[in-house]
Amino acid sequence: MKQILRNIFHSPRFVVGFVIFCIVLLLSFYPMVSIFTPMEIVGSGFHAPGTYVNIKSTIQSRSEELKYVGAAGLSNQFTAEELGKMQEWLVKYGGIDQAVVDEAAENDNAFLELWLSTYSDDVQYKATQAYKREMQKYNKQILRITATDSLEIGEGDSTITVKSNQFVNVKNISNRVTLPLGTDNFGADVLTKLTSAIGVSLKMGVMAGAIATAIGLTIGLLAGFLGGWVDNTLTFFTNLFTVIPSFVILVLIANSISQAGRSPAMVSLIIGITAWPWTARSVRSQVISLRNRDHVNLSKLSGHSTARIIVQDVLPYILSYVIMALILQIGSGILGEAQLSMLGLGPSTTTTATLGLMMNWANTFSAAQNGQWWAFVPVVLAITLISYSMNLMNTGLDQVFNPQLRD
Amino acid sequence: MGKAMLEVKNLRTKYVTRLGEDVYSVDGVSLKIEEGRSLGVAGESGCGKSTLALSMMGYYFPPLHYISGDIIIDGQNISGMDPDKVRTSVLGKEIAYIPQAAMNALNPTMKIIRFLEDVIRVHEPKATKAEIRERAEERFVSVGLGKEVLDRHAVELSGGMKQRTVIAVSTILSPKVLIADEPSSALDVTSQKLVIKMMREMMEKGYIGSMMFITHELPLLYNVTDDIAVMYAGQFVEYGSAKEMVFDPLHPYSHGLMGSILVPEEGTRGMNLTAIPGTPPNLKRPPKGCRFAERCKYATVECSYVAPIEKKFGENETRMYRCLKDEPWLRKTYEEEQGGASNE
Amino acid sequence: MKGFAKYYGKRLIWYLVTLVIAVFLNFMLPRLMPGDPISQLVSSAAAGVTDMNAYQKIVDQYTKEFGMDKPLIQQFFIYVGNLFKGNLGVSFAQYPKTVSAIIKESIGWTLALQIPALIVGWILGNVLGAVAAYIRKGWDKAVLPFFLFISNTPAFGLALVFVTYLAVKAGWFPVGRGYGSQFASPVASWEFVASVLKHYQLPFWTMVLISIGGQAIGMRSMSIYELNTDYVKYSRFLGIKDRKIVMYVFRNAMLPQITGLAMSLGSSVGGNLVAESIYSYPGIGSQMLKAISARDYPTLSACTLMITIMVLIANIVVEFLYAVVDPRIKAAQQDG
């Protein structure tokens, strides 16, 4: 057992998949530390990722939180050296007489006027990029000092104006809220909602995968081990359901269950009972190759019951296959949930989100068409990462358990 | 003495394992096959005989690598040639190969004639389809396969048919040397006989200049080849004519191999090369002295330290053995052994 | 040849039986759910119909035509009978349009989108898998994992991403629909064709990209297997050039991948149909989504039936095509 585990963790694919999966799993614990609950409405509608300041509260604690930094002459904004460099530029590239520049340097306003009328970022001149960038920086600073726009914070009587040459230290604002992934159409924090949805979707995926694997395993075992008419019948149905797209069955069943009846557990169940055929198929072929092995025959001769033989002599040998199938089924269960939700047949819930529902909401509120990427790109990424990590772990395990696949 | 079709001088090649270790599977092999003659090579599995077959092709596909030695085909030394030239002008035309697993040697989804077109066009790019078909039909009929085989896919042929088709395909360009690596070991007895009969006929008809036949089934060699060489741990330990090798084996290893073949009717029974106790040495680090010393019941201390050289004798030096002991002593020992065996 | 014909005769019968069962399931599944969901559906339907009289008329018509008041088994035969006449009922949501008219309108779009996407994805995936198997290095370490990653994205997820970044932000492609809004309905003109092609790109490449990874990984392991077969070694020793041998290998590795095509069809059809609806593409997928949200049962049922039939036909075509092009299969069938 220890040896097997060591082999598994020596497969680079498995390790990469495992690490990705662990990271995603860790993310699902974020709602525990988040200041919001997953469905809590934080703002109104879509907001891009960023740090937001809640205005009213800011004003209430204005005396402490807002600090004004007045502009007190150019010498407060620039060092003497920097001013010298700017004067040098005016002479060298601006084509202004040294005397004119010297004169203007005596007066802040005259200098600003001269600079603004001569310099522009578009002026073409020969100098190193670093020099040009330095000049652009000074120019930006000057533009900020001379700008007359101002920002209004607050509403009604409590409006205050923060001039463009004034600063508010964001750190000192107590009601600052950082929304790393913005808010969705409901105005809920996407990060909290997403991470909680990852947890819910994973649970649904595990449930659907477990159901599908259990059904597939039972059918595969019975068909493969018993053979005869049992095998024929079960194989007929297995083949039937591999050809009829499971998607269709999924939609037909899900659509027939009323909105209220579609709990997350119910949706997992529906996904599980439509996803078993591939597992049944591969388990069956594994069991058939085992059926006539010596140890199985010995058990048969010893008069052990069929159930005992299956549990003791067959199951342990196909366990690795079953685990691999389960991993794949979990991944496709999550995809299945997303698919159903996109069609509007997902779980109906007001307390939790799922990855599929989040995508469905983003789609319904035209987030893609309006460029509100934060509402769905992280969700798509989460689904992809989960499914990808499952796939990597599966191929990694496959390489460990089927050495002939190694190349 | 006829013209030498194939001459190999002190050929050494090695395998490089996945872990980067060198395995010296062919370690100084020299041999000569004259026009119209055939040489059989026998040895236990793992002695390097299949590697020898591949090494003699003059083109080395990894993990097999050339170290030193000469391969001379009809006076032309191919071991110094540009590998690409070897591939286009020597392989298939001068020297041809029949692989061990001939069952799977043909591309299953290709008609035999299409494959023959590809083979012939490597060496004769201007050959037209009609010409190739004409030639192929003639040859296939002549070797008793029938021309309808040409339009079949490999998967549609039975095992024996596949085997004979592979032989016909390999020799379509009438190579000067044919190297056959256990071409019949996977077949049933009837098919084996057919294959061997076919190869002998091809020699007689001049489709094959000379032949090297590799096998682990000794009785086969006595019926098929003119000369026999015994290979052990990457080297020939003895060679001579089939008759000499069967009735007058010198090397203690050959004793073990040939002992029971004395009475040909019984020879096919109970032949088991692994009957000699012990296992061949690890060719990653060949022993310093005689390679057979560990398993030889006559080995002395000297044997473990001094590597025996090839001792040649007879007319044109057609007989060779590689042992520190001399010829009379070896003969005497063998006779005693035989006598002892019959007394028991 | 006889064994061959017999085998495929059997297969054809099997597919026919499967079709009958699929039709039965399509009819039965919604009706087997507790609480007689169909009558509930029918009575709660008609979201698009505001006039009470008109609504009652639709429901009455449906009830009569499909014998909703009769026993289930009788209903099934009425349903099959109607099916043969091409009568799929009247849409609840798009009254008085018939369902068969809706299907007729949209099925061409879906077929024209999904079949080429499937084939192109299959070809590109096979080429990538073959290259990865033969060259290894960067292809194996970077390109293949990248496409595997993409193929784990749900098609509709990739569609959403593309809409934002390639259509809205970059403006390279139209945001959605099958053709420009200046055309009220399809017309036979070059401008219309150009517009269709322009709108075709994004949905098409979405589906292609999704399918590459899965096909490539199968082709890669198959090619590695074939590269180590005896015929490769043998061909080399006959002097045949590597380039030619690689062609043998890829041909032999690619043929079994045809079954991979059929497999991917069944598993990708769902995601692709949903992706269609993201692009508001006028195909079955969009109709299905509309039908679900409008509780338009007859249209939904027809859509699922059409999808099943399309997948079944594709499976038959693939299976028979495979047998024709790969002599290994023919030989195996003849033996058995």
Q: What proportion of chain A, given as a percentage, has pLDDT over 70?
A: 85
Rounded CA-CA distance C333/A57 in Å is 80
Write out the H or E segment, with its range, that includes residue B73. Answer: strand B64-73
- Structural tokens at position C305: 């039936």
Q: Tell me: pLDDT of A388 over 90.
A: yes
C-interface mutation test, from A251, A276, A406, most C Cβ less than 10 A away: A251
Q: How many CB pairs under 8 A join A and C?
A: 146
Q: Which domain holds residue B136?
A: 4-343
CB A244 within 8 A of CB C18: yes
Minimal CA separation from C170 to chain B, in Å: 48
Cα dihedral A221, A223, A224, A227 sign: positive
Minimal CA separation from C270 to chain A, in Å: 5
pLDDT at A170: 65
Residue contact C35–A405, C-beta within 8 A: no
Tell me whether chains A and B touch (3+ CB pairs under 8 A): no
Q: Tell me: pLDDT of A43 over 90.
A: no
- Placement of tokens 């997350």 in the chain: A264
- Name the CATH architecture for the domain at A2-44+184-405: Orthogonal Bundle (1.10)
CB C44 within 8 A of CB C55: no
Strand partners, A246: none
Q: Outline which parts of chain A fall under CATH 1.10.3720.10.
A: 2-44+184-405
Maximum mean pLDDT: which of A142-156, A335-349, C81-95: A335-349
pLDDT at A5: 85
pLDDT at B186: 66
Domain parsing of chain C, residue ranges: 8-84, 102-335
Which regions of chain B are under pLDDT 70? 1, 184-187, 219-220, 258-276, 339-344
Question: Which residues make Cβ contacts (< 8 Å) with residue A195, sequence separation at least 6?
Answer: A27, A28, A29, A30, A31, A34
| Nearest-Cα residue of chain B relative to residue C234 | B105
Residue contact B170–C238, C-beta within 8 A: yes
CB C303 within 8 A of CB C273: no
DSSP letter assigned to residue B293: G
Q: By C-alpha distance, which of B274, B302, B312, B290 is closest to B233?
A: B290
pLDDT at C334: 61
Please list every residue in chain C whose beta carbon sits closer than 8 Å to the beta carbon of residue A387: 152-153
CB B91 within 8 A of CB C239: yes
Q: Tell me: pLDDT of A66 over 50.
A: no
| Sequence letter at residue A122 | D
pLDDT at B204: 87
Residue contact A371–C169, C-beta within 8 A: yes
**Higher-pLDDT residue of C185, A28:** A28
pLDDT at A152: 56
Minimal CA separation from B2 to chain C, in Å: 27
- Does residue B61 belong to the interface with chain C, where contact is any CB pair within 8 Å? yes
Within 13 Å and on the Cβ side, how many CA atoms surround B20? 0
Name the CATH topology of C102-335: MetI-like fold (1.10.3720)
Residue contact B105–C244, C-beta within 8 A: no
- What is the domain-level CATH number for residue B261? 3.40.50.300
pLDDT at B44: 79
pLDDT at A327: 93
A62: pLDDT confidence band, cut at 50, 70 and 90?
A: very low
Q: Tell me: pLDDT of A164 over 80.
A: no
| Nearest-Cα residue of chain A relative to residue C300 | A252
| Nearest-Cα residue of chain B relative to residue C246 | B107
pLDDT at C69: 72
pLDDT tens-digit map of C111-156: 999 999 999 999 999 999 988 888 877 777 888 899 999 999 999 9
Q: Tell me: pLDDT of A65 over 50.
A: no
Phi, psi dihedral angles at C46 (to 5 degrees): 65, 50
Which residue among C18, C22, C29 places its CB closest to the CB of A253?
C29
pLDDT tens-digit map of B28-58: 888 888 888 888 888 877 788 888 888 888 8
Cα Rg, chain A, nearest whole Å: 33
A-interface mutation test, from C164, C206, C277, most A Cβ less than 10 A away: C164
pLDDT tens-digit map of C173-214: 888 888 887 777 778 888 888 888 888 999 999 999 999 998
Rounded CA-CA distance A75/A83 in Å is 8
| Nearest-Cα residue of chain B relative to residue C333 | B156
HEC sequence for chain A: CHHHHHHHCCCHHHHHHHHHHHHHHHHCCHHHHCCCCCCCECCCCCECCEEEECHHHHHHCHHHHCCCCCCCCHHHHCCHHHHHHHHHHHHHCCCCCHHHHHHHHCCHHHHHHHHHHHCCCCCCCCCCHHHHHHHHHHHHHHHHHHCCCEEEECCHHHCEEEECCCCCCHHHCCCEEEECCCECCCCEEHHHHHHHHHHHHHHHHHHHHHHHHHHHHHHHHHHHHHCHHHHHHHHHHHHHHHHCCHHHHHHHHHHHCCHHHCCHHHHHHHHHHHCCHHHHHHHHHHHHHHHCCHHHHHHHHCCCCHHHHHHHHHHHHHHHHHHHHHHHHHHHHHHHHHHHHHCCCCCCCCCCCCHHHHHHHHHHCCCCCCCCHHHCHHHHHHHHHHHHHHHHHHHHHHHHHCHHHCC
| Sequence letter at residue A374 | W
Residue contact C239–B90, C-beta within 8 A: yes
Which residue among C21, C157, C292 places its CB closest to the CB of A380?
C157
Q: How far is C-alpha C4 from the chain's CA centre?
A: 28
Q: Which of A382-396, B224-238, C321-335 has the lowest mean pLDDT?
A: C321-335
- Placement of tokens 């530390």 in the chain: A33
Write out the H or E segment, with its range, that includes residue B95. Answer: strand B95-98
Which residue among C240, C241, C255 places its CB closest to the CB of B109?
C255
Please list every residue in chain C whose beta carbon sits closer than 8 Å to the beta carbon of residue A388: 148-149, 152
pLDDT tens-digit map of B188-201: 777 777 777 888 88
Residue contact C237–B97, C-beta within 8 A: yes
Residue contact C149–A388, C-beta within 8 A: yes
Maximum mean pLDDT: which of A112-126, A334-348, B204-218, C73-87: A334-348
Residue contact A388–C176, C-beta within 8 A: no
Q: By C-alpha distance, which of B335, B339, B255 is closest to B297?
A: B255
Cα angle vertex C266, ends C265, C272, to 5°? 65
Rounded CA-CA distance A317/A388 in Å is 27
pLDDT at B139: 87
C-interface mutation test, from B56, B89, B109, most C Cβ less than 10 A away: B109
Rounded CA-CA distance C312/C315 in Å is 5
pLDDT at C51: 59
Q: Tell me: pLDDT of A69 over 50.
A: no
pLDDT at B318: 81
User: Averaged over A245-260, what is the pLDDT?
Assistant: 85
pLDDT at A273: 92
pLDDT at B261: 47
CB B82 within 8 A of CB C211: no
| Strand, coil or helix: C2 | helix
Rounded CA-CA distance A10/A399 in Å is 11
DSSP letter assigned to residue B309: P
pLDDT tens-digit map of C262-295: 877 888 888 899 999 999 899 999 999 888 887 7
Give me the torsion for CA of A109, A115, A120, A121, rounded to 10°.
-100
Residue contact C327–B155, C-beta within 8 A: yes
Q: Tell me: pLDDT of A284 over 70.
A: yes
CB B115 within 8 A of CB B107: yes
pLDDT at C78: 85
Cα angle vertex B14, ends B9, B17, to 5°? 170
pLDDT at A64: 31
Which residue among A240, A257, A338 places its CB closest to the CB of C18?
A240
